[in-house]
Amino acid sequence: MRISNNGRRSLAAAVCAAALLWVSSVAAAEYVDAASHLSSEAEIKAWYGLQHGLRENFDEICGDTFCEGDYSNIQSLRFRCSVDRFSGVLGQCLWLFAASNESVDPATGKVAARFQHWRCRSPLAPGTNVQALLGALAGERPLYAVLPGTGRSLYDGLVDCL
């Protein structure tokens, strides 16, 4: 069976049209801040409770662990996650910290300050969705809770970072 040039062109056009339809039907990821992705009152309350719990858990252990040495005043600034707005799958979570070290020059009275910041990436399993994260980290000690699909906690991520 022989296909004419017009037939080949028609077949090629049909294949291209089908490919374009398929590509347009597959939504590209579009990431947003996790806090803006949450819709129910319970999810929003859980998110802000998580923020508060992480800050408290970090403050409880800081002096005995990470806040020794040059930077004894490390402060938790924010725990922030990106989420695919279509699927709810997390892209990345970062926990941001800052600290300073000050000294006084005895001869001049001038105060010198050095600043440091850290962007600690959370050890999330690929495909983790925001609801699973909220469920796993619910409670009074989210810093130590095992993250979904991993054997690790946010504390483990801090050990790798700070």
Structure token pair of residue 54: 């992480």
pTM comes to 0.80
d(CA 33, CA 43): 14
Which residues is 113 bridged to in the sheet? 102
d(CA 40, CA 98): 32
Q: Where are the beta strands (DSSP E) in the chain?
A: 31-33, 75-84, 90-104, 111-121
Structure token pair of residue 65: 């662990």
pLDDT in tens, the chain (162 residues): 566 666 556 545 544 444 444 444 356 889 999 999 999 999 999 999 999 999 999 999 999 999 998 999 999 999 999 999 999 999 999 999 999 999 999 999 999 999 999 999 999 999 999 999 999 999 999 999 999 999 999 999 999 999
d(CA 30, CA 93): 15
Q: Where are the domains of the chain?
A: 29-161
d(CA 29, CA 24): 12
Q: What pLDDT is recorded for position 21?
A: 41
d(CA 79, CA 109): 37
